[in-house]
Amino acid sequence: MALHLVTDFDLRKDALPWLRAQRASWTGAGARGGCAGVLENNYESLRVLNVERNGNIIYTYKDDKGNVSFGLYDCQTRQNEHLYTFEKDLQVVSCSVNSERTLLAASLVQSTKEGRKNELQPGSKCLTLLVEICPVNNVKVLKAVDSYLWVQFLYPHVDSHPLPENHLLLISEEKYIEQFHIQVIQEGGNRVVAKNSGHLRKERVAEDFVWAQWDMSEQRLYYIDMKKSRTLLKCIQFCGDENFKLMFEAPLDISLSDSGFKLVNFGCGYPQDQEKLPKYLSLCIFTNRTGSLCVCYSPKFVSWEQITYSVFYFHKGYSKTFTAALGSVHSPVTKGITFLNLGSNDVISMLPHSPLQSLSGSLVLDWCSGKLYRVFLSQSCLLQFLWHPRPDWEKMAVLHCLLSCGRDPQFVESKIIQWISENISACYSFDPIQEFIIASSYWSIYPETSNMDTLLPYSSVLTWNTEIPGITLVTEEITLPLMKVHSFKSYWEKLNANLDYVKYSKTHLHYNNNMVRREWHSLISEEKTGKRRSKVYVRNILDNAVRVISNLEARNLVSEPRSTPLFQEEDNHQRLLVGLMVSELKDHLLRHLQGVEKKKIEQMVLDYCSKLLDLICRILETSWRKHNLHPWVLHFNRRASAAEFAVFHIMTRILEATRSLFLPLPPGFHTLHTILGVHCLPLHNLLHYIDNGVLLLTETAVTRLMKDLDNTEKNEKLKFSIIVRLPPLIGQKICRLWDHPMSSNIISRNHVKQLLQNYKKQPQSSVIDKSSFSVEFLPLNYFIETLTDIESSNRALYGFEGHDNVDAKFVEEAALKHTTMLLGL
């Protein structure tokens, strides 16, 4: 199973031993009350009641006389504390303790045992009490009514000093919520009492609702209002003082007319009601700090053959409804759906065997067993899952789960790279290298700011068109929440920004490299024609690349040095591409990331581009080390090995993955790729790869080829085939490195072409001085004399000199040698 549950608290292990010890000490002392009467046969009464915002856990237990007691487990000190005992046989509905542990609120109902007299006030079903417990003192009746009540103290964001006033929520089965304001004073040392407890101030917070959820971490109340004949979701934010604000209203397209009354995260329900849970719908709300607001909903089960649930992404303006076939009526799904928040942007659904409550901080409470779990996606299980023969959609899902929820990104990335290296052709619906590079780069800077999912691509697949057997998906637009306040802070500011983006953004804002592609091709074209933009512009672009590479090297100081011969040459073409991407991405984020300082955005861009290059390097490095390659593969005068074939293959796949997205490659990549290509491919295949742009002829690679290979017939053919495919400027440089008639011929042709480009024929003498020529061949003599005249004119007008002693005489000798070769003389 991919979900890994780590026990944070176990009622039987963390509380029961303490209770036994307390019983023994109290019994030995002959005392009564407290834990004195807890007997072995009554331990089944031990159950969790509530988890407060600070993580403290409140539980209840009974003694042999049925008296109900309350205990508290401090999650920081891992110590237990007895809070209070009612010397009556009652059942606890709800309980809460204020942050200072001076007040306890509890709702109780009559015990269900036959023959028990009514311990409550006459005519009442549920009694809600406020108890002073520092020390135990007065007991105040807040409510005595004929319906269930739940209680919850507020835990506002304040300093550690005691509050002069506490605030208590009281939730009624009669569909209203009240807030009590309880002023406390200190008397006689440490004695804390409620001031004027007979006349506590209260106010109505909500009414006519059918469903409510308490967010203990953020102190928010979500509830659904049905009084206007439509389902309206509302949210109230409780502040540090007694104030509370209605933050938003949002229409919710679900049916609740026959669902009954339900509360979420208001402690554990009355035990008899646990059996009814599967009959109810499942509805939960999840948020996170990036401004997301998700409502997860599953209706009542109609058939056990399939299950349906919806997720309303209010911060994105759409909902997704999933229907999944369960396979058979004998499926183990019998308890409905529980939605769990794993602390990421993903909401994971699972099918549990007992009622679970999802709390903040990836915590899950199992009411039946009294265990509090911290839930993780199991990295080891997901990695194993990746290696199994699974459909593409499952592999993609696992890949993203690992990258988004992994606790050790470097380790996870290494394992994914290993899987890619050994299963390079395992996926048909997507390119695993492409998906890994894009997703991992995205998740590396995702925590930096909100709205990142709207500005950067998180997948290489724009739309998934492949059918997933057994699952149907319907996506619909939904009405956005209507914000009811005008000034926002923290989460609400980010949610409002997300809503504004949905409302006002009419274009697709995901960054792509189309602009980079056009500008890069323009710069390369200018370079080929000898033209260039201003030196300042090009220098700024190249400086961007230098900063990225420096940032990359700084991040890799602690890691093992690379074995692959990358970053060992200038490779201006790739540096231009890196620099252009930095420039365009920075402009993109500056336009659309409001409220983020420029320096932070610049660093985010450097980190993102560095991550792209680093992932490519690591994929290649993994393959290089696996096949135990050495630097001598860079020499041409040797035969290719099977290891070189394998590395060449993965480099070709990397190139394919990056090319369609126009992503930069590490400087030196093309040189290494070309050298391995010359080793591994027959000449006709090699030239096919070059002509189709798979192999790019860099100056470094071709220079090494000219120097390493001798002039055998096979090598001459290879060299000539390479030279004629080079851009003119690089070709002229390379020809001068090859002492061969072919290179002389090419140099001569280039020289003649340059001289005759702007040549205008001038009247000349028809008499040619034959004495100045070594061969009596009139066409050649006339041509050489013309070149000599042009050279003389250029020298006089422009101070023109031939390059590397290339002149008319050189051209004449080259022509004669070439003719001699052609005639076989």
In this predicted model, what pLDDT tens digit does every residue of 541-588 receive, in sequence order?
Answer: 999 999 999 988 887 755 677 888 888 888 889 999 999 999 999 999
800 domain residue, yes or no: no
pLDDT value of residue 769? 52
Mean pLDDT of 746-766: 59
| Number of domains, the chain | 3
Asked, for residue 125, whether it belongs to a domain, the answer is no
Predicted local distance difference test score (pLDDT) of residue 435: 93
Question: What are the tens digits of pLDDT across the range 394-443?
Answer: 889 889 989 987 778 889 999 999 999 988 888 888 899 999 999 999 99
Query: 442 with 537, same domain?
Result: yes
Judged against a pLDDT cut of 50, whether residue 59 lies above it is answered with yes
Residue 556's contacts (CB-CB under 8 Å, 6 or more residues apart) are 562, 614
In a shared domain, residues 463 and 483: no
Same domain, yes or no: 347 and 383: yes
Contact 661, 616 (CB under 8 A): no
Tell me which of 280-289, 490-499, 600-609, 668-677 is least confident: 280-289
Sign for the pseudo-dihedral over CA of 582, 585, 590, 593:
negative
Q: What is the largest CA-CA distance in the chain?
A: 141
Per-residue pLDDT for 333 more than 70?
no
538 and 434 in one domain?
yes
Give strand pairing partners of 616.
none
448 and 426 inside one domain: yes
- Dist. CA 12–CA 43, nearest whole Å: 9
Q: Give dist(CA 716, CA 722) in Å, integer.
A: 10
Q: Are 683 and 717 in contact (CB under 8 A)?
A: yes
Q: What is the C-alpha to C-alpha distance for residues 645 and 622, in angstroms, rounded to an integer?
A: 15
| Helices 741-756 and 728-735, axial angle in degrees (round to 10) | 130
Q: Specify the length of the chain in residues.
A: 825
Range of 308's domain?
1-5+210-328+335-390+470-504
* 664 or 89, which is more confident: 664
Q: Specify whether 342 is located in the same domain as 415.
A: no
Highest mean pLDDT among 212-221, 344-353, 459-468: 212-221
Phi and psi torsions of 399, nearest 5° = -55, -45
pLDDT tens digit string along 227-251? 667 789 999 999 876 689 999 999 9
- Residues 180-208 have pLDDT tens digits of 998 888 877 778 888 877 788 899 999 98
Q: Which of 378-392, 404-418, 752-766 has the lowest mean pLDDT?
A: 752-766
**Shared domain check, 366 and 397:** no
Give the end of a domain, one of 456, 481, 504: 504
- Is residue 588 domain-resident? yes
pLDDT score of 640: 77
Of the three residues 457, 485, 504, the one that is the final residue of a domain is 504
Assigned token pair, 302: 């109609």
- 382/431 same-domain check: no
Range in 52-61, 415-424, 764-773 the model is least confident about: 764-773
Classify each residue of 147-178 as buried b or exposed e, where b means 16 or more C-beta atoms within 10 Å of its C-beta: ebbbbbbbbeeeeeeebeebbbbbbbbebebb
- Highest-scoring range by mean pLDDT, 555-564, 669-678, 749-758, 797-806: 669-678
Residue scoring higher pLDDT (199 or 655): 655
Per-residue CA distances from 549 to 44, 207, 410, 606 (Å): 64, 60, 19, 9
What are phi and psi for residue 223, nearest 5 degrees? -150, 160
Q: Is residue 461 part of a domain?
A: yes
Q: Are 138 and 169 in contact (CB under 8 A)?
A: no
Q: Are residues 446 and 517 in the same domain?
A: yes
Q: Is the pLDDT of residue 354 over 70?
A: no
197 lies in some domain? no
Q: Is residue 258 part of a domain?
A: yes
Does residue 788 sit within a domain?
yes
Q: Which two tokens stand for residue 467?
A: 């059918």
The predicted model gives 214-225 an average pLDDT of 92
**Which H or E run includes 178?**
strand 176-187
pTM over 0.85? The answer is no
CA distance 701 to 69: 81
Most confident region among 275-279, 441-445, 755-759, 810-814 by mean pLDDT: 441-445
Among 648, 817, 684, residue whose Cα is nearest residue 741: 817
For residues 384 and 446, membership in a common domain is answered with no
Q: Is the pLDDT of residue 345 over 50?
A: no
SS3 644: helix
* pLDDT tens digits, 671-714: 999 999 998 999 999 999 999 999 998 888 888 888 888 888 88
Q: Which of 515, 417, 400 is nearest to 459 (CA)?
A: 400
Is 179 contained in some domain?
no
Same domain, 299 and 444: no
SS3 (DSSP) at 451: coil
Domain final residue, candidates 626, 661, 685: 626
Read off the pLDDT of each residue in 789-818 and give the average, rounded to a whole number. Answer: 55
Instruction: Please report the pLDDT score of residue 767 as a whole number.
Output: 46
Question: What whole-number distance in Å separates Cα of residue 644 and Cα of residue 681?
Answer: 11
Give pLDDT tens digits for 500-529. Answer: 888 887 666 788 888 999 999 998 888 777
Q: What is the DSSP string of 595-639?
A: T--HHHHHHHHHHHHHHHHHHHHHHHHHHHHHTT--GGGG-SSS-
> What rounded mean pLDDT belongs to the chain?
80
Instruction: Compute the distance between CA of residue 761 and CA of residue 738 in angstroms, rounded to an integer.
Output: 34
Higher pLDDT, 376 or 772: 376
If asked whether residues 340 and 235 sit together in one domain, one would say yes
